[in-house]
Amino acid sequence: MRSTCNLCLLKSSITKCNLCEMALFKQSILKIKTFVFTDIETTGLPTYELNRTKITELSLIAVQSDHLRLGVFPRVQNKLNLCFNPCKMISPDGETITGLSNFLLENNSRFSKEIVDMMNIFLSQLPQPVCFVAHNGFKFDFPILRLEIDKTKSSLHEDLLCVDSLICFRELLSAVACEDYDSNIENDPAKPTTSYNSYINEAQRLNETTPQKQMIANQNGESSKRMKLTGARRNLFSEKYKLGDVFTRLTNEEPVNSHQAEGDVVMLIKCAATLGEKFINWANTKATKFSDIDPLTAGISIRK
């Protein structure tokens, strides 16, 4: 029997509150079988185009979650890479960054209903459930893709899921860094025998009772490393999470083919594969329906 909140009990059996609908949806999600890593290139940034941005390139690379779990770059990949004539001028910055110009795309087709049908056929051939993965997807790729799809008066499959890898990497890499920090504290041979809180309280007491700057020394007479490590922990949250930065941090490699849709997707797959099981578990708990993403709307910022 499905549980509902008290408010829902006062309503008809058909109408449910948003919280209950979300809870039921989360309970119904099966483990993701296929991740479709996604990237788009566009005519420019929505901020500078009054949110009338168009897609110039789309890359979808599907990877089975069981293969991603192995922690290596998957051999089995299914790809759909397309370029489009945006039928609007590509900004100079967009052309420089992506290498795509109106001249190069002149003979390409527009983003159309046939393209959406092609995407649905591609996605339907994959082990289900399927989940889109895009870096900064909630604020860029997904709203723009939703807009282009909506303009064709069609839609992708209702049960398609999506996650934003930017949020994922922020959460997982920050957690890993904090674990490393705590491990360094535990293994620090120079740490005081007294607790950290006691150490801080003593420092505060001395600073409050004397106008001179105090240097608290540990039992060995050395300045404590703990204060430095505390500052290091604060710096964990100033790390950069652009895709190229995350890629270098996780793989020790320099970004290749940045701002080419397939190149960015390949880097994203390598990042996810490096995290392996952690990435998959995170996605299974954080996934939301692609159909719930608000499309980009002219005059309305997608930044929140």
- Annotate 124-148 with DSSP letters as a single string: HTSPSSEEEEETTTTTTHHHHHHHH
Which pLDDT does position 227 carry in this prediction? 41
195 φ/ψ sector (left φ>0, alpha ψ -120 to 50, else beta): beta
Residues 193 and 220 in one domain: yes
CB 283 within 8 A of CB 32: yes
Classify residue 7: in a domain, yes or no.
Answer: no
Residues 233 and 245 in one domain: no
Classify residue 8: in a domain, yes or no.
Answer: no
Two tokens, residue 238: 């100033």
Residues 139 and 53 in one domain: yes
Q: Structure pTM?
A: 0.73
| Closest C-alpha to 40, from 58, 13, 25 | 58
Task: Name residue, tokens 């490096």.
Answer: 274
Domain boundary among 192, 216, 238: 238
- Residues spanned by the domain of 152: 29-171+240-292
Residues 138 and 212 in one domain: no
Helices (H), 31-70: 65-68
Residues 73 and 155 in one domain: yes
Which pLDDT does position 269 carry in this prediction? 97
Which pLDDT does position 13 carry in this prediction? 45
Rounded-to-integer distance, Cα 25 and Cα 206, Å: 55
Which pLDDT does position 256 carry in this prediction? 83
Residues 233 and 164 in one domain: no
What total of structural domains would you count in the chain?
A: 2
Classify residue 10: in a domain, yes or no.
Answer: no
Task: Name residue, tokens 């083919």.
Answer: 257
Classify residue 300: in a domain, yes or no.
Answer: no
Stretches where the chain sits below pLDDT 70 are 1-29, 176-239, 300-304
Residues 144 and 227 in one domain: no
Which pLDDT does position 232 carry in this prediction? 41
Which pLDDT does position 294 carry in this prediction? 96
